[in-house]
Structure 1
Amino acid sequence: MEGEGLLNDATALVLLRSALAAAAGTLATPWNAIGDFLLSVAVAVAIGLIVGIVTVFIRSRLSDSVLDTAISLAVPFVAFMPAEALGASGVLSVVVAGLYTGHSRSRALSAQARITERTNWRTIQFLLENGVFLLIGIEIRTLINDIDPQVLGLGESIGIGLIATLAVVVIRYLWVGPLLLGMAGVARRAERRMLREYLVIHHYRNHPVTNVLQRRRKAQLERRFERDRADLEHHRQQQVGWRGGVVLGWTGMRGVVTLAAAQSLPMDPDVIPYRPQLVLIAFTVAVVSLVLQGGTLPLLIRVLKVRDDDTTAHQEDLARLLDDLSQAGMGVLDDPETAIGVESPIDPDVIERARQSSYIRAEAVWERARSQNLATSDQPHLLYRALRLAMVEVEREKLLEERRKGAYSTRALDDAQALLDLEESRLRLRGGGMQR
């Protein structure tokens, strides 16, 4: 839903831009409007990719989280302004830059940069989304006063907004229905594709590979086969069904982007003669969809008995993944001196500590997956986390005491505070801390 919303919102704003150009008379024919739309999308995607690649490269070379955060906040403006200057969609350019950054950050950015970025952007998102509604609420009285009842009155505008809300819901269901029917054939097509890939891989395995191109082709097919097999398994486990389709159709709520798009309409009455009414219609659609659809969505899910993903299955899947990661990491301990570039033998106690640190992640997830069937005394990792968290809390009290005494420098105290914060965030479970 989040990915759909990003692309839908950006594409809708590009369409709005082309429609405004057509309304202003700058596009002579519908074909010109289509060409303008396609050119706007192409240029925006190109600029977004360039900005994403350059900024990710620069951020990967930084070790200062302050500079990294500053660049992260500047990326939307850097992507937006050149696209708008070239007549393309600045919003779509920002979306593309963000998608590339999100795809690359796991490899290119540091862990501290990812933590800081996640917190900052959640805060910015919260402020901007609520700020838009606040501004609309402040302007609604002025908006109503600007409506000319001789042209299109208040009641008629709200009525059109209600009709538009109904049309939006109907159109979404008309789209979701065929989409779900098309997904029913995905598994069959995937099976046929995997069969062809397997036959080619089998041919390569039973015949000598004589050149670099064949080896590369074989490696690509094996990676694609593994990906297709995982996608097929996921598709079989996550069948949406008609109940899920009903819920999916009902989630097409309109909000911040609808209001922002309406507010972006030109003030010129010759271009947009019904601007106050259009903004009020958009406001009606957003409010009704958020209140009606958003307010009844939990009830609809309960009535249709749509279940969320099995939490236990998710935890077990995560634990298996961590087992695989730990197994790969253990390979370093076979020759630890070479791995870290030292010549003298490493103390076996140090190696064992590294081994246990790797094991402990998966153990914690396995305990959560099986927590319903285990007593607290049978969950050693949970006990360890609770005990270590109690120690951190005492250490924090000691830190505050030392800060009051003034026996240590401010820099040392701040560094110690940061270390305690990192350890506490690691010890506390997701979803509200841990019980002791």
Structure 2
Amino acid sequence: MDALQMFELVIVMLLAIILLHFVAHKLGLPPAVALLTGGALFAFVPGLPVISLDPELVLVIFLPPLLMDGAWFIALRHLQRHMLGIAGLAVGAVIFTTAVVALVAHWLIPSLPIAACAALGAIVSPPDAVSARAVLQRVKLPRRLSILLEGESLFNDASGLVLFRFAVAAGVTGAFSMVSALESFALLAIGGAVVGAAVGAAWVLLAPRLDDKYLMIASSLLAPWASYLLAESGHLSGVIATVTTGLICGWYQHVVFTATVRMNGTAFWAVMIFLMEAFVFLLIGSSLRGVIDRVGGFDLVLQEMTGPVLAILGALIVARFLWVFGSDALIGLLRAMGLKRYRPIGPRGATVLAWAGMRGVVTLAVALSVPEGFPGRDFILVTAFAVIIGTVLIQGMSLGAVIKLVRLEESEADRPRMTMSEAEAAMARAQLKVVEVHARDANGTVIHPRLLDRYQRQASIATSYAGQEAQFADQLHAHFDLILKAVAAGRKELLRLHRSGDIDEDTLHELERDLDLEELSALSAKA
């Protein structure tokens, strides 16, 4: 396939993405399901080339920006609050699931070495960040469950990749050391966090000095790849590095970006992430033909692998239920014994958390990276693909119904201390103080009566000066300068409320968008 044919294929895939998203919207299906199914059908269209994925290239292209976007918007305060639960899922659940899958695979296929079984377990154990995002965007979850799922999907790839590398090494050399594995994981995680913090700090310091909205947006696009590639080049965790960078950039973007940059940047990232997520699922589906050809055809898969693959898929789902319900029961027991710091999520929340375990691009990319000649490689490839298809189609399509069935409710302890309307009132009071100081001249005469009335009554006077710009040019400049000062005061108060923990990220982003729009309107009117 030459370069022109490759470009034409990308255009065809882009058209397919638009059509499949449209069909999913009309049928009420999760877009990930439509894209995955459409990609699988796309793979067998006569005349189209077989799509063969380079696993390293796929991870480098897609994983960093998708992780960055997830970390950028995650509720950091809630992430810190629920870090123990996230660590339990991202590390404990991955290790437990790997062990269960390895034991089941070895029991089903005794000829398969335990190292190969462990490699398979490590490949399929971590739920995927892209799959989780794609499904969670269509459902409404209580804050705590949402944070647990988002945080797990951001961090669990690191533990899964470490387990996979050691399992492959054990399969090739026959040697394995648990101490070495733990030391390696700690080194990878800490080193990756240091690299990510350095890149994030560099972005926070340098981005404002670029003094150009396009350069600032471009720098935010460069940050995840810089963090990932730097960490990987030092044999550290690129996943942890990218997530750390995203957390830092997301925390400081409210003061680094101006309103114009933030509005443009948010729109740019939204479109880019939409396309990347869509391409990921389409590529996964499209790679089915290559996987089937690689292992010897459909007949071989159906005759020899169907039973073990379905059994492993079932073991994967059961293992997650056992871990989630077991962990929640342990927390409940500790709470009954007097340890009140942590609260169980309860059977309803545990059911949803256990069922939301979709796999995706990382599982497939890691499976494709299994070395040629590794024991059970064909079986590992088929199982990985089946797990992706099964979890996305079965769990992804039914998660909304499960949420409705269990009737989840937001816990009082997880609600922010202030509602959005209360935050709006606090922000308006901060703006009014600035307006009251500057709305009068030295003699105490009101020189901006309509503006003062607007902030007193929360009413708009934007049309009051329409068509009178020349007559009121000086007043207009003063008028909109004062609006800009009021917006700055409101943003300062909004950030103070967020930093002090009175409001959450959702309230921050909603009200900040309102302020951004007000600022852009004033700048446009003044110009």
TM-score by length of 2: 0.52
Please, which moves more after superposition, 180-189 or 94-103?
A: 180-189
Deviation digits for residues 213-246 of structure 1, max 9, x if unmatched? Answer: xxxxxxxxxxxxxxxxxxx9xx8xxx84322221
Corresponding residue number in structure 2 for 1:329: 431
Q: Highest relative contact order (Cα 8 Å, sep 6+), 1 or 2?
A: 2
Corresponding residue number in structure 1 for 2:399: 297
> In structure 1, how many angstroms separate the alpha carbons of the residues matched to 2:456 and 2:207?
28
Q: Give SS of 1:87's match.
A: coil
Measured after TM superposition, the shift of residue 89 of structure 1 is 1.7
Amino acid at match of 2:448: V
Equivalent positions of 1:269-348 (< 5 A) are 269-270=372-373, 272-307=374-409, 317-333=419-435, 335-336=437-438, 348=446
Measured after TM superposition, the shift of residue 163 of structure 1 is 2.2
In structure 2, list runs of 5 or more residues that go unmatched: 1-148, 468-512, 519-527
Alignment of 1:3 onto 2:105: no
> In structure 1, how many angstroms separate the alpha carbons of the residues matched to 2:256 and 2:240?
23
Corresponding residue number in structure 1 for 2:245: 97
> In structure 1, how many angstroms separate the alpha carbons of the residues matched to 2:340 and 2:355?
34
Corresponding residue number in structure 1 for 2:264: 116
Corresponding residue number in structure 1 for 2:182: 34
Measured after TM superposition, the shift of residue 74 of structure 1 is 0.9
> In structure 2, how many angstroms separate the alpha carbons of the residues matched to 1:154 and 1:161?
10
Q: Give SS of 1:348's match.
A: coil
Q: Give SS of 1:134's match.
A: helix
Corresponding residue number in structure 2 for 1:165: 313
Deviation digits for residues 397-428 of structure 1, max 9, x if unmatched? Answer: xxxxxxxxxxxxxxxxxxxxxxxxx99x959x
Deviation digits for residues 184-230 of structure 1, max 9, x if unmatched? Answer: 5898999988xxxxxxxxxxxxxxxxxxxxxxxxxxxxxxxxxxxxx
Corresponding residue number in structure 2 for 1:177: 325
Cα contact 2:196–2:243 (8 A) shared by 1: yes
Deviation digits for residues 300-321 of structure 1, max 9, x if unmatched? Answer: 23333335799xx999811012
Q: 1:109 to 1:346 in 2, by over 3 A?
A: farther
Cα contact 1:49–1:100 (8 A) shared by 2: yes
How many residues in Structure 1 have an aligned counterpart in Structure 2?
Answer: 320
Corresponding residue number in structure 1 for 2:161: 13
Alignment of 1:247 onto 2:395: no
Cα contact 2:162–2:181 (8 A) shared by 1: no
Corresponding residue number in structure 2 for 1:46: 194
Measured after TM superposition, the shift of residue 7 of structure 1 is 1.6
Deviation digits for residues 305-360 of structure 1, max 9, x if unmatched? Answer: 335799xx9998110121122223333345449xxxx9967973437626734863
> In structure 2, how many angstroms separate the alpha carbons of the residues matched to 1:190 and 1:67?
54
Corresponding residue number in structure 1 for 2:83: none
Corresponding residue number in structure 2 for 1:256: 361
Cα contact 2:441–2:447 (8 A) shared by 1: no
Measured after TM superposition, the shift of residue 27 of structure 1 is 6.8
Q: Give SS of 2:448's match.
A: helix
Q: 1:125 to 1:261 in 2, by over 3 A?
A: farther
Corresponding residue number in structure 2 for 1:210: none
Measured after TM superposition, the shift of residue 98 of structure 1 is 0.9
> In structure 2, how many angstroms separate the alpha carbons of the residues matched to 1:186 and 1:335?
55
Amino acid at match of 2:385: F
Equivalent positions of 1:370-389 (< 5 A) are none
Q: Give SS of 2:210's match.
A: coil
Structure whose CA Rg is larger: 1
Amino acid at match of 1:328: A
In structure 1, list runs of 5 or more residues that go unmatched: 194-231, 361-380, 396-421, 428-436
Amino acid at match of 2:376: Y
Q: 1:279 to 1:189 in 2, by over 3 A?
A: same
Equivalent positions of 1:154-233 (< 5 A) are 154-181=302-329, 184=332
Identity of aligned residues (%): 29
Q: 1:247 to 1:358 in 2, by over 3 A?
A: farther
Q: Give SS of 2:235's match.
A: coil
Q: 1:166 to 1:121 in 2, by over 3 A?
A: farther
Q: 1:47 to 1:252 in 2, by over 3 A?
A: same
> In structure 1, how many angstroms separate the alpha carbons of the residues matched to 2:456 and 2:237?
46
Cα contact 1:19–1:33 (8 A) shared by 2: no
Measured after TM superposition, the shift of residue 2 of structure 1 is 1.8
Q: 1:4 to 1:192 in 2, by over 3 A?
A: closer
> In structure 2, how many angstroms separate the alpha carbons of the residues matched to 1:28 and 1:241?
38
Measured after TM superposition, the shift of residue 24 of structure 1 is 4.2
Q: 1:85 to 1:303 in 2, by over 3 A?
A: closer
> In structure 1, how many angstroms separate the alpha carbons of the residues matched to 2:264 and 2:293?
44
Q: 2:225 is matched with which residue: 77, 80, 86? A: 77
Q: Give SS of 1:69's match.
A: helix
Amino acid at match of 1:321: A
Measured after TM superposition, the shift of residue 66 of structure 1 is 0.5
Amino acid at match of 1:269: E
> In structure 2, how many angstroms separate the alpha carbons of the residues matched to 1:44 and 1:190?
37
Q: Give SS of 1:61's match.
A: helix
Cα contact 2:192–2:237 (8 A) shared by 1: yes
Deviation digits for residues 103-138 of structure 1, max 9, x if unmatched? Answer: 222233323333333322222222222222222333
Cα contact 1:14–1:41 (8 A) shared by 2: no
TM-score by length of 1: 0.61
Corresponding residue number in structure 2 for 1:56: 204
> In structure 1, how many angstroms separate the alpha carbons of the residues matched to 2:188 and 2:174?
15
* C-alpha RMSD of matched pairs (Å): 4.1
> In structure 2, how many angstroms separate the alpha carbons of the residues matched to 1:356 and 1:187?
51
